[in-house]
Amino acid sequence: MRDPISIFWLAPAALLVGSPVSGTTYLSVEQAQHLLFPEAQMTAHPVTLTAEQAKAIEKASKTRVRERTLKVWSASNGGWFYLDQVIGKHELITYGLALDPAGTVRGIEILDYRETYGGEVRDPKWRAQFVGKRAGSPLQLDVDIVNISGATLSSRNITVGVRRLLATHALVVGKS
Amino acid sequence: MRLLSANPETRESPAIGQRAQPWLGTLVSIRVAAEPDLATRAMGAAFDEIGEIHRQMSFHDPASELSRLNTRAHREPQAVSARLRRVLSVSLALAHATGGSFDPTIGRRLVEQGRLPAPAGDASDPDARWHDVALERDGRVRFRRPLWLDLGGIAKGYAVDRAIACLRRQGVASAVVNAGGDLRSFGPPHVVWVRDPADPGRNLPLLEIGNAAVATSAGYFNDHPPHSAIVDPRTGAGLGDDCSVTVCARRAIWADGLTKAVLADPTGSVALLRRLGASAVLLDRNGGRRHLS
């Protein structure tokens, strides 16, 4: 082992306080596009679905189309980038889907993740009280998703969203 | 008095980059401290590794290596990748050490409860258990009866370990990888939060880790009522509906697997936790807290 294990259970007193999850912003639209299409120029390709198209997509993907205005970019190498949002019971996720020219999934990047429940605002005083619990350097108390251990929500909503976008691409955007 | 700018750690601390992608049925997020080019390269390599593990160990994908085992390994021994062999070997060791309170043949129960799709081919023998899985000397895997392996209780931990190894090799200064509650990090200490079992919308600061892995299991996000989110492989009974267990260990694969063993039998798990240098905390809905090991 390169390093010894280093852990420190925090005092139970600290457990009297809790922080609601707000969420994490991972990437901007430009950053996500650059990661998924590092070599390509992106061109906005605005699409508004007709009621008939939306209905056809719902039928093909077995999921609701909530938004008929699509955020789509075409890449100079023939690929496509979709910016989409899925709303679950507890969360709101903004993600980017990259398709290669043949319309198959090239990659998915999460841009933003918000948990939409909890949300209770805590007295900021508790932080100060907690920081003093341990000698040495002050603790970093930023809560974002990467620092939370414990049953996270499933990625099922994203799977459903991707299914909807693949149907959208096959039936509308990839045909144009 | 010390001037802030005179602190070399402050002046030279590299940029923080973070990304998240959906893999292994959850969101996997990675945070690293590194210069932007290195951060992009290192996180890209780590996500590639996680994607590969997802493709090899998916129960849902009929083309995965795991699905090939589930449909064929009771007929003839199957060659497997080094990754799958490693996960199976740790799974069987945990199953042995816990007397089956962790058991990778749990696929049958999860299919019965409608939580996993039934694989093609022969149905799992209801009496099949972990000891019906044989790792042959030549590296192949053989089932002594038809059975359905599911690695959902341990593959995320393994993926986190591999991603961390990848980030270290790439030379980032510090990193955290979190796959749906299975988390491992290296670098300066940081606080790890867990959801409050009484109100999973809130988080409690539970421990501080530097180089270590933490996993939490609990039943509070349940996609499949009336069944529990976590199932005792020995009985099919639900576990963790009103509490959570957090295990801290050197490797995420151990922490991930151990959470299920601790939920099934807290007192009986103490010896194993100690043997692996691990420790655990149970939190209940009433604010109760119990340390093991």
* pLDDT band with cut points at 50, 70 and 90 for residue B277: very high
Residue reference for tokens 């994490």: A24
Q: What is the pLDDT of residues B188-233, one digit of tens each?
A: 988 898 888 887 777 888 889 999 999 998 876 665 655 666 778 8
Give me the mean pLDDT over the A80-101 stretch: 90
- Partners of residue B190 in chain A, C-beta under 8 Å: 140, 147
**Residue A119 reports pLDDT greater than 70:** no
Residue reference for tokens 């022969």: B122
Establish if B286 touches chain A: CB-CB under 8 angstroms.
Answer: no
- Partners of residue B211 in chain A, C-beta under 8 Å: 2-6
Establish if B18 touches chain A: CB-CB under 8 angstroms.
Answer: yes
Predicted local confidence at residue B180, as pLDDT: 87
Q: What is the pLDDT of residues A45-90, one digit of tens each?
A: 999 999 999 999 999 999 999 999 999 999 999 999 999 999 877 7
* Torsion angles phi and psi, residue A107, rounded to 5: 180, 160
3-state secondary structure of B182: strand
Nearest to B193 among A3, A115, A147 (CB): A147
> What percent of chain A lies above the pLDDT cut of 70?
71
Predicted local confidence at residue A57, as pLDDT: 96
User: Cβ of B26 and A152 within 8 Å?
Assistant: yes
- Partners of residue B221 in chain A, C-beta under 8 Å: 90, 151-154
Predicted local confidence at residue A24, as pLDDT: 83
Tell me the C-alpha to C-alpha distance, in Å, between residue B92 and each of A43, A135, B82, B98, B268: 52, 42, 15, 10, 18
| Residue (of B292, B211, B285) closest to B250 by Cα position | B211
Predicted local confidence at residue A64, as pLDDT: 93
DSSP assigned state of B117: P
Predicted local confidence at residue B259, as pLDDT: 94
Hey, which residues 223-242 in chain B have their CB within 8 Å of chain A? 223, 229
Cα gap B256→A135, rounded to integer Å: 30
User: Could you tell me if B274 and B293 are in contact, meaning their C-beta atoms sit under 8 angstroms apart?
Assistant: yes
Distance from chain centroid for Cα A163: 16
Provide the strand spans (E) within B180-272.
182-186, 190-196, 199-209, 212-218, 230-231, 238-239, 243-249
User: Cβ of A147 and B178 within 8 Å?
Assistant: yes
pTM: 0.88
Q: What is the pLDDT of residues B221-237, one digit of tens each?
A: 665 655 666 778 888 77
